[in-house]
Amino acid sequence: MAKMNLKKTHLATLCVHGSGGVDPATGAVSTPIYQSSTFAFKNARQGAEIFAGETEGFVYTRIGNPTQSALEKEIAFLENGEAGLAFGSGMAAISAVVLYYTRCGMNIVSSDTLYGGTHNLFMETLPNYNIEVREVDGTDTANFEKAVDENTSCIYIETPANPTLTLVDIEAASRIARKNSIPLIVDNTFSTPYFQRPLELGADIVVHSATKYIGGHGDTVAGLVVGKQDFINDLRGTILRDIGGIISPLNAWLLVRGLKTLAVRMERHQENAMEIAQYLSFHPKVSQVWYTGLSTHPQHELAKRQMSGHGGVVSFEIKGGRKAGEKLMNNVNLFTLAVSLGDVDSLIEHPASMTHSTYSAEELQKVGISEGLVRLSVGIEHSQDLIADLRQALKRV
Ligand code: LCS
């Protein structure tokens, strides 16, 4: 491919062409799936040199694989970071990063609205290893400042947060992290680098559940981390290598393919989600809609400042609580009643009893996840068909 001026090229083009490489070994234009667990050394000396870190080369797929490398290069490029590392799930990526920084006896300061699995890791699993997580209201970043002490290993935020689309000011959080010489980790799953690039706003590390928009087709579970080259090298050589939460070559390939259509999918997700959010805002059976693209979102100004678009998740409060929500979910036809999000197909779920059932009743109330909250992951179907489906299902409520 002819050389592009990467600084002047639009993101939609960069998603398709990536950093401009073809497979270095064969020149294959589509990244090959290197379905091999191990890699032959030319001779014993070269093998020893690779192990000693004196020569570059592939050794064993738990530590690195060319298909995985191609994916890592592309996500680092799109996030405007130095290097990337792929994992077998979003939770594998998140746990690897927090474990890398945190020792027994230390604490983590985090925003309090998180995917239910991350919340469970923080409140149930890490305390078993004498690691305390201080979840605070991240809509006021002064709360991070108050919670940080000399034993804090890192600040962790999810923005927009699952499922209420609550935002954290990334620049303000990064200033607090910098002042305390600790890293700021941002879960960028909901926005993807197409709509938000946390590293450009001062964050140190980005994590993704690549299961969602990066893969985009509901056929892969995967996680990604982007950060400085030295950090990524060390993370690969310690937690990834020792705990082993790797991605398979086939799944890495599915994500490389997913990234090529990221721009068109995100544009369509956003367009459809905006129409649905507006439709629901005026529906008499809906009391509140959460979507960062609506001017009624309490942090709409912050959304405009740190994001260039709004993604496909819309949450809303249905009048009549849990019973009304169940009636709606049991009567949709096009929306599939399933967890996960970011797929081309539209999905619907009930956070309080499903994705966020790891939150106690008090915790749910504190972060604004009520019994009547329904979450939509708006897909790329025709918006009028999706609205017609919601209209007929709401009629039955
Ligand atoms: N971060 C966010 C924001 C997520 O939404 C999820 C999963 C994860 C991390 C974990 O990633 P995983 O290990 O599943 O790849 N969110 C899910 C959800 O809302 N429904 O099912 C999974």
pLDDT value for 7? 76
Question: Among this protein's residues, is 8 annotated catalytic?
Answer: no
Whether residue 90 has its Cβ less than 6 Å from ligand 1: yes
Residue 226 CA to ligand 1 center (angstroms) comes to 17
Express each pLDDT in 72-129 by its tens digit.
Answer: 999 999 999 999 999 999 999 999 999 999 999 999 999 999 999 999 999 999 999 9
| Averaged pLDDT for residues 153-164 | 98
93 & 135 share domain:
yes
Mutate to test the pocket of ligand 1, among 159, 211, 347, 373 (most ligand atoms within 8 A of CB): 211
> pTM to 2 decimals?
0.98
Structural domain of residue 167, as residue ranges?
Answer: 7-260
Express each pLDDT in 297-325 by its tens digit.
Answer: 999 999 999 999 999 999 999 999 999 99
pLDDT band at 5 (very low <50, low <70, confident <90, very high): confident
Express each pLDDT in 257-297 by its tens digit.
Answer: 999 999 999 999 999 999 999 999 999 999 999 999 999 99
346 three-class SS: coil
Question: Among this protein's residues, is 187 annotated catalytic?
Answer: yes
Q: Mean pLDDT of all residues in the chain? A: 97
Percentage, residues of the chain above pLDDT 70: 99
Where is the domain boundary, 212, 243, 260? 260
1 belongs to a structural domain: no
23 belongs to a structural domain: yes
Residue 6 has pLDDT above 80, yes or no: no
Express each pLDDT in 160-186 by its tens digit.
Answer: 999 999 999 999 999 999 999 999 999
pLDDT value for 21? 79
Give the 3-state DSSP-derived string for 177-198, with helices as H, strands as E and coil as C: HHHCCCCEEEECCCCHHHHCCH
Lateral strand order in the sheet of 347-349: 286-290, 313-318, 373-377, 347-349, 336-337
Whether residue 158 has its Cβ less than 6 Å from ligand 1: yes
Question: Among this protein's residues, is 322 annotated catalytic?
Answer: no
| Averaged pLDDT for residues 44-70 | 96
Residue 177 to residue 163: CA distance in whole angstroms: 25
Residue 2 has pLDDT above 60, yes or no: no
2 belongs to a structural domain: no
Residue entry with tokens 């149930």: 124
167 & 65 share domain:
yes
> What sign does the dihedral 208-212-217-219 (CA atoms) show?
positive
Question: Among this protein's residues, is 265 annotated catalytic?
Answer: no
196 & 271 share domain:
no
Where is the domain boundary, 201, 225, 260? 260
Closest residue to atom 20 of ligand 1, CA basis? 340
Residue ranges in the chain assigned as alpha helix (H): 11-17, 44-51, 66-78, 90-101, 116-120, 142-147, 170-179, 192-195, 229-235, 241-243, 249-260, 262-281, 300-306, 321-331, 361-367, 383-395
pLDDT value for 148? 98
**Alpha carbon distance, N-terminus to C-terminus of the chain:** 55
pLDDT value for 19? 84
Mutate to test the pocket of ligand 1, among 212, 225, 377 (most ligand atoms within 8 A of CB): 212
Residue 1 has pLDDT above 70, yes or no: no
Closest residue to atom 10 of ligand 1, CA basis? 90
174 & 309 share domain:
no
Amino acid at 51: F
User: Residue 95's domain is classified under what CATH number?
Assistant: 3.40.640.10
272 & 199 share domain:
no
110 three-class SS: strand
Lateral strand order in the sheet of 184-187: 83-87, 223-227, 205-209, 184-187, 152-158, 107-111, 132-136
Amino acid at 120: N
Atom from ligand 1 closest to the CA of residue 377: 19
* CA atoms in the 13 A half-sphere facing the CB of 225: 32
pLDDT band at 3 (very low <50, low <70, confident <90, very high): low
Percentage, residues of the chain above pLDDT 90: 96
Amino acid at 310: H
210 & 286 share domain:
no
